Structure 1
């Protein structure tokens, strides 16, 4: 998807959408981050003292009554058909709270001092739905929650004389999501008195491993799938650009070892209620009119279907913009419109022949060769006219890297890729926070610039993350929030919650994580995500104090001391993979922190007239600059690169300090 930019990091700034910068600012001023409201999709925020839940539920309110402790004996009432991953997750929650769970089919003479949790589907005859009615706390929103795919209700009260929590889902997904909400609601091992009615606004919510560069490790994929499941996502698309069996060698079948790993990913996705979607990209050398190529594609997909894959994408992006083989040229002719004709025929045949007799497949998806922009062109018009209307199109917005994606733009794209009488279902392939085109940078600002009501125009959205899987988790958290409940999404609140979860309870570690993320806020010069805002504030204050002849506030020095501790503090995070991904950036930041501390000492020595100390500090500052600028970060195709922070604020400060000190 990012082929042109992936091969030329120097083009990084060319993705800027300067023409819409004013619109972005105006949107924020006008209240683009829409305040939550008591309507479906608005996120009821009148929740009293309830713990924060992410994604923000459609409706969540405190109510009178006692809390439900999970610290003692807990009767888990679950029918035999209850979703097993959800039940396993609930038992984990109870164990983590310090409780002892007993799974029963019915609550019969519960022991004194115990609690109960009902878990199950929302069918009229189910024990969990009956328990919800018996609580006597049903709300009008419950009906909507239990009528919608993946919807659920969590409510508390008393049944059989003991504190009880009821978790009911429309389907297995909803039951699983209810447990993820319960996990966040616990306060000191108890569920507060509450009522939650919730459902997602987007049908497709997830992650696409779709970048160029070093593919993720098998363990990283498993960890991302688990994380995404906890955040109520439902899709993981396997599409690493540098996996040769997806692109260059797309006809080849997987080895036994490779199939074993894919099987593990498929099973992990199922256990976390995600669809494992496989993306086969034959466009580099496919001959659309050749029966043998169609047969090869079907054989490849059948091999994955046999493993349990039920969702497929055929990406045709980042390839030649006209047909290549002689047979295609003879049958279709050249030019983009004829490319669309060839691709539509191939995809329709694949849809017809591969899906025949299979009732359990998700709709086939594709990425068009012209996958950007909402306006029509000959290629899109022909593709929309000929392509089976059931086939879903993945689209990146107005650009490969889109700073703003609006509801109107998505609506226009639906029309451009669809037939005259009907729009095409669209899933947004969102190229954020992907960094394959700028592998010396990390992009860790919160997700911004997507209309809160985008869910009204698209089927869903998937995030294309960075080459660093664990550093991508904060943005994945943001996308989970946004795609579940866009009108209630607050970028900074969501990012703060993500970082707190990943960091764990240690306050010093949390401060270190925030300082590290601040250094990497930069996102394509977007003024809504200024580079290193907290660091810039401290630097501005330092120079203001210094130029006024006052003693500096000390904030910059404290930040420098914290940066020096990053290699020590980040490995203590709750998510250890974060520190491993950040290793070279953290080491460079520590050197910069040492340099800032020495620069401040140098400037103070200069004011005292201590030339010897100035000279020593100068040597140390230059040493730090050299160490911080070392090439330490390996890449797949670009060699070893220097980790870069934002727009180089730290380097600029040190260079300014060196110029201001005597002897420069």
Structure 2
């Protein structure tokens, strides 16, 4: 995995994309300079709460994998085998191998095993996960990575999922094959900045480079769903390509609006770091009327958010965007009308 990986991880909660959205996103990513597409929506229960059952969308998954190959992207899936972090038996192993065979048949080149957002306060946590990953490594020959249960230094993870075992990250890294990447969101779950020093701290602990899972521009949470994150990537510098193994952005629930900030990540690694210029360049690729409105309103959407808008202002904005025939404008209107309101039940799967 010497080449720097640059992709998206469709890994959010809440309202999901359609298969048409996903194929369209693959074409966009290829044109924007990305190398990978990881499919791992929390809303696909076949990948998470019901992972022990046969997958119910293999045909659609295979079609998406084929589209990614056509576009020159590497396609991957994120599987979340809930429960195996707490205990791993021979019966569990057989079910896991059955699921891996099904996924492998779709043509994926990348596999992530995701232990994020699961209870983890167990002394055997790292050992169980290393045992799982050893079996996965034996069964799958492509690019492989694991998301730890504690995927950040952020103490909020301990508050929500139980106190992390002492030396957990070091023990996990020590027990993994060298070819297995470790996903990491940075010092926090959602970061204003991710720096080379942050990555070096991770490397000192684990002995390997972090595979960055960047939670921008994602807006799937209770606190973040009232906002549309349309600004360019900031607080990330080109030298991350030297100190990390790759960079994967988690997009918004709105696929078309997500393309505005997503366009601005690949240029960072070519040395272009002027956020205002990158945002303007991204907007300029939209129809002129829509670009003009979003240039006017992006700060309102991202910094004031839905809760900061009065009814009259919402109505005025909706009238402006309803007048435009574009899927991104439709997403703005849907957002203004509460179509992406956070539903806590999305967390139960």
* TM class by smaller structure: 0.7 to 0.9
Corresponding residue number in structure 2 for 1:545: none
Q: 2:211 aligns with which of 427, 431, 437?
A: 427
Aligned partner of residue 245 in structure 1, secondary structure = helix
Alignment pair present for 1:450 and 2:232: no
Instruction: Kindly indicate whether residue 334 of structure 2 is the aligned counterpart of residue 580 of structure 1.
Output: no
Residue of structure 2 aligned with 1:389, choices 161, 167, 178? 178
Does the 8 A contact of 1:238 with 1:279 survive in 2? yes
How many Å separate the matches in 1 of 2:208 and 2:45?
A: 30
Give the drift of 1:444.
1.5
Partner SS, residue 66 of structure 2 = helix
Task: Assess, with a 3 A threshold, how the Cα gap between structure 1 residues 264 and 403 changes in structure 2: closer, same or farther.
Answer: same
Q: 1:348 pairs with 134, 144, 148, which one?
A: 134
Q: Report the CA distance between 1:563 and its aligned residue.
A: 4.3
- The equivalences for 1:158-173 within 5 A come to none
Per-residue displacement from partner, 1:573-613 (whole Å, max 9, x unpaired)?
xxx2201211134xx5xxxxxxxxxxxxxxxxxxxxxxxxx
- Cα offset, 1:479, TM superposition: 1.7
Tell me, in whole angstroms, the C-alpha distance in 1 between the residues paired with 2:172 and 2:102: 28
For the Cα contact (< 8 Å) 2:183–2:212, is it kept in 1? yes
What does residue range 527-538 of structure 1 map to in structure 2 within 5 Å?
Answer: none
Q: Which has the higher contact order (CA 8 A, sep 6+)?
A: 2
Question: Aligned with 1:436: secondary structure?
Answer: coil
Deviation sequence 1:532-578 (CA, Å, 0-9, x none): 9xxxxxxxxxxxxxxxxxxxxxxxxxx9998475234432xxxx220
2:158 corresponds in structure 1 to: none
The structure having more radius of gyration, on CA atoms, is 1
Contact 1:374 1:416 in 2 (8 A): no
Paired with 1:296 and 1:564, the residues of 2 have a C-alpha distance of 49
For residue 320 of structure 2, the aligned residue among 538, 543, 566 is 566
CA distance in 2, matches of 1:509, 1:316: 40
Write the distance in 2 (CA, Å) between the matches of 1:509 and 1:247: 37
Counterpart CA distance in 1 for 2:171 and 2:314 is 58
Partner secondary structure for residue 370 of structure 1: coil
Partner of 1:517: 298
8 Å Cα contact 2:153-2:188 kept in structure 1: yes
Per the alignment, residue 240 of structure 1 pairs with 41
- The residue that corresponds to 1:187 in the other structure is none
1:246 is displaced (CA, Å) by 0.5
1:366 equivalent to 2:167? Answer: no
Asked if the contact 1:374–1:409 (Cα under 8 Å) also holds between the matched residues in 2, the reply is no
Instruction: Tell me, yes or no, if the aligned pair for 1:206 and 1:479 is still in contact at 8 Å.
Output: no
Distance (Å, rounded) in 2 between the aligned partners of 1:396 and 1:390: 20
Name the structure 1 match of 2:159. Answer: none
- Partners of 2:69 and 2:318 in 1: CA distance: 42
1:23-78 CA-to-partner distances (Å, cap 9, x unmatched) read: xxxxxxxxxxxxxxxxxxxxxxxxxxxxxxxxxxxxxxxxxxxxxxxxxxxxxxxx
Q: Is 340-349 or 228-237 further displaced after alignment?
A: 340-349
Note if 1:405 corresponds to 2:194: yes
2:100 aligns with 301
Segments of 5+ residues of structure 2 without an aligned counterpart are 156-164, 306-312
The whole-number CA distance in structure 1 between the counterparts of 2:127 and 2:322 is 57
Deviation digits for residues 511-535 of structure 1 (CA, Å, limit 9, x no counterpart):
222123232232xxxxxxxx59xxx
Q: CA RMSD in A?
A: 2.7
Report SS of the residue matched to 1:236.
strand
SS at match of 1:250: coil
Task: Give yes or no for contact 1:279–1:315 (8 Å, CA) kept in 2.
Answer: yes
CA contact (8 A) 2:80 2:115 kept: yes
SS, match of residue 97 in structure 2: helix
Which of 450, 468, 472 in structure 1 is aligned with 2:258? 472
Relative to structure 1, the CA distance from residue 510 to residue 562 in structure 2 (aligned partners, 3 Å threshold; closer, same or farther) is farther
Structure 1 residue runs without a partner (length 5+): 1-148, 150-200, 323-333, 418-422, 523-530, 533-558, 589-630, 640-664
Structure 2 partner of 1:9 = none
1:254 shift after superposition: 2.1
Tell me if the contact between 1:512 and 1:569 (Cα under 8 Å) persists in the aligned partners.
Answer: no
Deviation at 1:314, TM superposition (A): 0.2
Distance 1:349 1:638 in 2: 34
Q: Which residue of 2 aligns with 1:611?
A: none
Residue in structure 1 matching 2:275, options 484, 491, 508: 491
The reply to whether residue 291 of structure 1 matches residue 71 of structure 2 is no
Q: Counterpart of 2:248? A: 462
Structure 2 CA distance, aligned partners of 1:413 and 1:339?
19
Change (3 A) 1:284 1:490: farther
* 1:316 pairs with one of 108, 115, 120: 115
Residue 264 (structure 1) aligned with residue 63 (structure 2): yes
Query: For the residues of structure 1 that align with 2:178 and 2:152, how far apart are their CA atoms?
Result: 19
Q: SS at 2:178's partner residue? A: coil
User: What corresponds to 1:160 in structure 2?
Assistant: none
User: What is the TM-score normalised by the length of structure 2?
Assistant: 0.86
Alpha-carbon offset, residue 279 of structure 1:
0.8
1:447, 1:479 within 8 Å by CA — same for their partners in 2? Answer: yes
